Chain A
Amino acid sequence: GDSVTQMEGPVTLSEEAFLTINCTYTATGYPSLFWYVQYPGEGLQLLLKATKADDKGSNKGFEATYRKETTSFHLEKGSVQVSDSAVYFCALGLGRGGYNKLIFGAGTRLAVHP
């Protein structure tokens, strides 16, 4: 069935380090792909998205490229800040007759230390 697999956390980094959070998916059809971020005590917020193969989504210094050949959508940031500490969710979106179903990964907690 359709699913999303994320690397397990927590991921602990020092400020200004390079970040990669791996995400792979299994899906029938042609999904859209998303990264959501959840800061402590808040709801999930859309971070970036990509709708077709080779699209790159980017926002706030984060980016991810839709790789159909490897069914992946890894999240990267060149230099993390303490304020990036949060839980990151990869998700795939599947259209079903007007209804867009989002399937979330388990989430990856990122902790950035000064």
Chain B
Amino acid sequence: DAGVIQSPRHEVTEMGQEVTLRCKPISGHDYLFWYRQTMMRGLELLIYFNNNVPIDDSGMPEDRFSAKMPNASFSTLKIQPSEPRDSAVYFCASSPTRGRGHFDGYTFGSGTRLTVV
């Protein structure tokens, strides 16, 4: 398997523009997670899906952020309008359902580095 695939790797956009980040999870993984990483706040869980359904979006910072998972192989994180403080690395991760003794953690993508100027 090619792992979790994110695109683009880097995105530079102007303040006020819409930004869409994309993720393809590992086939067969029924959990998908979106994280944001910054120097100031570290790694933050934004939202996660189970079987394409959003389960917990309490980490989404504002209404400007939205996430969708239209099918098992694709998810998007959209920021509209973008602001400079949204600059961060955004990671997607996926995981299969496993019993406790068989849980191998999450598999992360390489991330999208977003810069809003």
The chain A residues found within 8 Å of chain B, CB to CB, are 30, 32, 34, 36, 41-46, 49, 51-52, 89, 91, 93, 95, 98-100, 102, 104, 106-107
Contact = CB atoms under 8 A, between A and B. Distances in A.
Interface of B: 4, 31, 42-43, 50, 55, 91, 93, 95, 97-101, 103-111
A102 B100 contact: no
Nearest to B109: A43
A52 B103 CA distance: 12
Given A43-B93, A51-B103, 16 more contacts: A30-B100, A34-B105, A43-B110, A49-B104, A49-B105, A91-B105, A93-B103, A95-B99, A95-B103, A99-B50, A99-B55, A100-B31, A100-B98, A100-B100, A106-B42, A107-B42
B100 A42 contact: no
8 contacts: A34-B105, A43-B108, A44-B108, A46-B105, A51-B100, A51-B103, A93-B103, A93-B105
Contact of A44 (B91, B97, B99): B91
A60 B50 CA distance: 32
Nearest to A103: B45
